[in-house]
Structure 1
């Protein structure tokens, strides 16, 4: 590897001048606005191009800053991004969940931007900065409590030109491309603002801004859409819930009855010829919170309606184990044989399905006792349903790269995402999750069936396009013929290695910048601004 070199404009003695307070205030306001601008790239909006523009403003502010200042500006940027993006977490429990989560996620952004500030004066800085952005996303995807990768740059791009890169390197490659473009635009804007725009000085940032987009356009041909494993007529049933809110589980029988009724109506539509006979049916997560293995009434209802539709049904259920603890389980129900297979959710949602440090967090809110005590599954089960081999990724799991990859590469030809978004009302949460589903379709070259209790349910082609979708809080059934694919994408075959390489390269650039700063101080030639915190001039 060629070590990243220190940029010519970052060397030499730097006067220890402190920025005026008004300039610091303006930069603080700029990064908060940049975070909000980046947030506006997320669905339900289709303004995907705002993401690199927000990153560009952030990069401008971070250029040449010390690590400490980089952390502070990054935290403010993170609050500008996370606070609106995660507002859905407080729909029914208020700011006690929403604001602390936003602040924690913003702290992780700050950690990344502290490092990004350090490398911002190296040659090819946009690339090193983007690699460290990916490293920051990787960190908050695994820590704490199993990580929270919800607001990843890739998930802002289901309608963007960067989307085809998912098939080559998954969500990290999309993030790298978006961030490189953004940081390149930031450097380019700085060059023009300082009238430092000779051809030699702008060639690098122009390349950083443009080449990722050109690579993404070129990758369009690598997106697989052929039905190399046949086709299947798929139905997604959205039964709806009587009312939204945290108490929807108290209406368990009504929710089950709604899904039975809507599936029975689908069966009548099939008999009348209004819709084609489905080969398989996907119900949402929590469609039957009444354990059908322990409750004869629930079992009889599911059995009857499965026979009526004449196709296997994946039933989202809450199943109680022999240890008397609940599992979030999808049950494969056959029209002739009844329940034949199960998949238990492996990546559980902390502070929802589980409650880490319950006694501690109870000091702040009694709402923690609403959280469950669910037990995780261990196997990436694939259901054989008609002509399809269906990988299951339940709700929250779809945000996690490794969980989806393990499910899809276990011999699947179709991906199903049963989900329950009723708790979050009419917030943007369900649209953000659908964006993830669309990115996963391209990443793994699979059609995706999204079945939600209250919406938005959708059928997605392997290129990420939506065949059909539902409205919120409306009973509906979507039926369409989708391609089945068994081919693994480059992203599937490479697995975690692209992300690992990106993180390693970013950290290597950080080490080079730190060493360069230390050598400069030792030689008495001054501190390259932004290379380290200790001994740096007090520029903020």
Structure 2
């Protein structure tokens, strides 16, 4: 039956059909778009410095609801909006010093990966147990994003938002891919469980098999996380070491470039000497070794005798080896280097950062970037070169693995320090450029995940904060404030056993990528068969 409306202006007695209300149609179409962006924002809120890790579950449940059954074009747009809602606020710190242009450009590119994953999720959403295929697709998207372009950008991996969550032990099972998969699977499983209940009420008949499968996609990740707690331990396996973490702080604005670099070095030497005085007074335990942050000496001590003297004086004062973060030029090449400085022998070993940061430590597409804005090229006047060997320093008998700052985001860069014998890990960093943004807390959460992933104590010496000591169970036992000079001294457990995640390496990620590919293959095959059937 067609319902018509009579216009008040129709005086001749005829009836005219009122036009459809376009605003209702537009509103209905805008709801999924708004929901996608809001779910992305919800996912961002689940990340540090907040401890609302559980918000990732409704965020993915909402994403599953928005994408289920959509066409590829709609899914592309909705996935992109989800990516923007998540990444725009998460990565705002990237524009602290260089302005909003690079920040917006980075997010615009990274959100494309999320959009493509959204297309895949929409495709597999018609399959049985679709949450499994969809969660695997998300992890496959993270795997690609961690490798391209320019060596990848893993920031925003779901695992890095779970340092305070119940799923964290899954990191010891299969690293960040398995941890992230468990969280995303549980979120999509919640979506499917609710959908089955709603569908059952509407039709009056609950599909028992489908409902049970939906419940399992929620229960299995939670049960797996609880079972994996047996892999998490902070017990010493090879004795203990007393470690000192130095945060020298940085001077505020007002100094020219070279004076600023010298002031940073002096600050770290001064804080080390202050600690040495406390040790002599019996107020603090004497450390076996000392860890300085990245860029604690941007003045090359191999080139400048005054920098050598300052570092050597600090090592002699504390009477312990120091890992010093420096910028070193060798053979015409620039390196972001950690130097093992012995109080008697001086520099005895070095580690060159291997995963250098694009647009921060080297400039891809330099000519193109210069054509857009000459100021951007001047900020990276000379590209840093990459190191080639894993960093493991033997410091007073303890093997300390090194993953410098940005490297903590890359699975391989942390893992191979452990496979090369590290009994603990240090992540020397320099976050001063990013002021009081959330960046330092996001990076601290990464180190907490790495501690559980490889069952190692992790220290985080940072120039301006937050520096921390993290136990192998992911607990932060000590931390500093931001933009203060401070030191942390603690006896920490040394461990030599390898978790399943350490032993398996990239294999879990490869398996999940294969599952994602299989899901896409099944979805494409089902679509082809459906079109053929409709054609017949």
Of 212, 217, 222, the match for 1:203: 212
Residues 414-434 of structure 1, C-alpha deviations (whole Å, 9 max, x = no match): 101100000000000000000
Of 90, 95, 102, the match for 1:97: 102
Of 476, 499, 502, the match for 1:492: 502
RMSD across aligned C-alpha pairs, in angstroms? Answer: 1.6
For the 8 Å contact 1:237–1:478, the answer to whether it is kept is yes
Please, what TM-score do these two structures have when normalized by structure 2? 0.92
Q: Tell me how far apart the structure 1 counterparts of residues 520 and 255 of structure 2 sit (CA, whole Å).
A: 45
Of 183, 189, 192, the match for 2:188: 183
Q: Tell me how far apart the structure 1 counterparts of residues 359 and 496 of structure 2 sit (CA, whole Å).
A: 36
SS at match of 2:315: helix
Q: How does 1:133-212 map onto structure 2 within 5 Å?
A: 133-194=138-199, 195=201, 197-212=206-221
Hey, what does 2:306 align to over in structure 1? 297
SS at match of 2:169: helix
Q: Tell me how far apart the structure 2 counterparts of residues 103 and 248 of structure 1 sit (CA, whole Å).
A: 33
SS at match of 1:452: coil
1:331 matches 2:339: yes
Q: 1:36 to 1:208 in 2, by over 3 A?
A: same
Hey, what does 2:132 align to over in structure 1? 127
Q: Tell me how far apart the structure 2 counterparts of residues 259 and 451 of structure 1 sit (CA, whole Å).
A: 11
Of 400, 403, 406, the match for 1:396: 406
Q: Tell me how far apart the structure 2 counterparts of residues 523 and 349 of structure 1 sit (CA, whole Å).
A: 51
Hey, what does 1:423 align to over in structure 2? 433
Hey, what does 1:239 align to over in structure 2? 248
For the 8 Å contact 1:381–1:391, the answer to whether it is kept is yes
Of 48, 58, 76, the match for 1:53: 58
Q: 1:442 to 1:524 in 2, by over 3 A?
A: same
Q: 1:499 to 1:247 in 2, by over 3 A?
A: farther
Residues 294-332 of structure 1, C-alpha deviations (whole Å, 9 max, x = no match): 100000111111011011100000011122x21000000
Q: Tell me how far apart the structure 1 counterparts of residues 259 and 411 of structure 2 sit (CA, whole Å).
A: 33
Of 288, 293, 312, the match for 1:284: 293
Of 113, 117, 130, the match for 1:112: 117
Higher relative contact order structure (alpha carbons within 8 Å, sequence separation ≥ 6): 1
For the 8 Å contact 1:131–1:506, the answer to whether it is kept is yes
1:524 matches 2:529: no
Of 46, 53, 56, the match for 1:41: 46
Q: Tell me how far apart the structure 1 counterparts of residues 416 and 133 of structure 2 sit (CA, whole Å).
A: 30
Deviation at 1:187, TM superposition (A): 1.5
Q: How does 1:215-226 map onto structure 2 within 5 Å?
A: 215-226=224-235
Q: 1:313 to 1:142 in 2, by over 3 A?
A: same
Deviation at 1:117, TM superposition (A): 0.7
For the 8 Å contact 2:248–2:264, the answer to whether it is kept is yes
Deviation at 1:206, TM superposition (A): 1.6
For the 8 Å contact 2:470–2:476, the answer to whether it is kept is yes
SS at match of 2:400: strand
Corresponding pairs, count? 507
Deviation at 1:247, TM superposition (A): 7.9
Please, what TM-score do these two structures have when normalized by structure 1? 0.92
SS at match of 1:374: coil
Q: Tell me how far apart the structure 2 counterparts of residues 143 and 402 of structure 1 sit (CA, whole Å).
A: 15
Of 347, 365, 376, the match for 1:357: 365
For the 8 Å contact 2:232–2:473, the answer to whether it is kept is yes
Q: 1:51 to 1:248 in 2, by over 3 A?
A: farther
Q: Tell me how far apart the structure 1 counterparts of residues 391 and 261 of structure 2 sit (CA, whole Å).
A: 26
Q: Tell me how far apart the structure 2 counterparts of residues 112 and 124 of structure 1 sit (CA, whole Å).
A: 17
SS at match of 1:362: helix
| Larger Rg, first or second structure (1 or 2) | 2
Residues 222-243 of structure 1, C-alpha deviations (whole Å, 9 max, x = no match): 1132211110001100000002
Judge which range, 401-410 or 202-211, deviates more. 202-211
Q: Tell me how far apart the structure 1 counterparts of residues 255 and 170 of structure 2 sit (CA, whole Å).
A: 38
Hey, what does 1:14 align to over in structure 2? none
